């Protein structure tokens, strides 16, 4: 069995359309073990009781942003080593630098293709 049969990914995005695009991309890649949350706060609470291998989180969300979620995850022993990909529509290099300092594993810019999503994930977890 390949990694894509075992990996568990959480998608975090407050916008249903954006969340759906990521989930559809994951399904097209062949990843089926996907959960999602509508906010960083809900995601962080869920991760405490139901860990995943990788979180793909939008940057801009009400309340806890993607970087806030990352910071909280890295400060918590049970989620400190969870893979994290930031999803953003911004070209701001300072945003990427801040993410790297907080322990982000990779980022992907919207809009993206299925192939770009797969390459982004593989840079974090290895070949799917």
User: What span, in angstroms and rounded, lies between the C-alpha atoms of 128 and 117?
Assistant: 12
Mean per-residue pLDDT for 80-104?
95
For the stretch 50-82, what's the b/e string if a residue is b when 16 or more beta carbons lie within 10 angstroms of its beta carbon? Answer: eebbbbbbbbebeebbbbbbbbbbeeeeebeeb
What DSSP assignment string belongs to 14-28?
A: S-HHHHHHHHHHHHH
DSSP lists the bridge partners of residue 56 as 11, 85
Q: Please give the domain boundaries of the chain with CATH numbers for all domains.
A: 3-122 (3.40.50.2300)
Q: What is the pLDDT of residue 82?
A: 98
> pTM for the full model?
0.97
- Predicted confidence (pLDDT) per residue in 46-87, tens digit: 998 999 999 999 999 999 999 999 999 999 999 999 999 999
Q: What is the pLDDT of residue 91?
A: 82
Q: What is the pLDDT of residue 98?
A: 97
């Amino acid at each position: 069995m390949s990694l894509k049969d075992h990996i568990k990914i959480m998608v975090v995005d407050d916008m249903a359309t954006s969340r759906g695009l990521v989930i559809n991309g994951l399904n097209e890649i062949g990843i089926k073990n996907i959960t999602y949350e509508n906010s960083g706060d809900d995601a962080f609470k869920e991760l405490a009781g139901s860990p995943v291998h990788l979180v793909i989180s939008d940057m801009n969300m009400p309340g806890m942003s993607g970087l806030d979620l990352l910071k909280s995850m890295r400060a918590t022993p049970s989620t400190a080593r969870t893979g994290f990909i930031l999803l953003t529509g911004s070209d701001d290099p300072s945003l990427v630098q801040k993410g790297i300092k907080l322990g982000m594993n990779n980022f992907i810019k919207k809009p993206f293709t299925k192939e770009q999503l797969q390459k982004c994930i593989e840079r974090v977890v290895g070949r799917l």
